[in-house]
A = this chain, B = another copy of it.
Amino acid sequence: MTSYAEELILPRHNSLGWLIAVSGKQLAEDLDQRLKNIGLSIGVWPTLYALWEQEGLTQTELAERCMTAHYTTTRTLDTLEKMGLVERHPHPTSRRALQIYLTDQGKDLRHSALQQAIACNSDYLARLSHAEARTLIQLLNKAVGTEI
């Protein structure tokens, strides 16, 4: 067990999959807890996050950005609509598509919600220097293939 490939799986604390799984669980649970303090949850986070970046997306576009199924997007938007945070508007050129917009209340949550996420990230990265943190994010970005 000495090749490059095997080095990436054993022992446990060297295993990429294990480290990512542990990190994901930790970050998601932490963010969920923090979001609950402001009336949100991890379930609605990806959708709101996408809308804070760009409003007026159709549900299909939202589903792509959140990487969730279209029926999940439908239900998440039902929830967010009931909470008064988003609205479905008729699409200007297609009568079957809908454009999703934030309400004023949804816009108001942006800052405090992003603060919660920043706090999660900072806690997770507490053991790294700023330079190391930037390197980590850059490498994840490169691996995932979303870099520009």
Contacts and interface: CB of A to CB of B under 8 A. Distances in A.
A9 B114 contact: yes
Main secondary structure of the interface of A (DSSP, over half): helix
A67 interface: yes
A96 B69 CA distance: 45
Chain A, interface residues (CB within 8 Å), range: 35 or more
A124 B53 contact: no
Nearest to A19: B140
A14 to B, nearest CB: 6
A38 interface: no
B14 A137 contact: yes
A30 to B, nearest CB: 9
Contact of A19 (B25, B65, B130, B144): B144
A20 B105 CA distance: 29
* Residue among A11, A22, A67, A128 having the largest count of chain B Cβ atoms under 10 Å: A22
B17 A144 contact: no
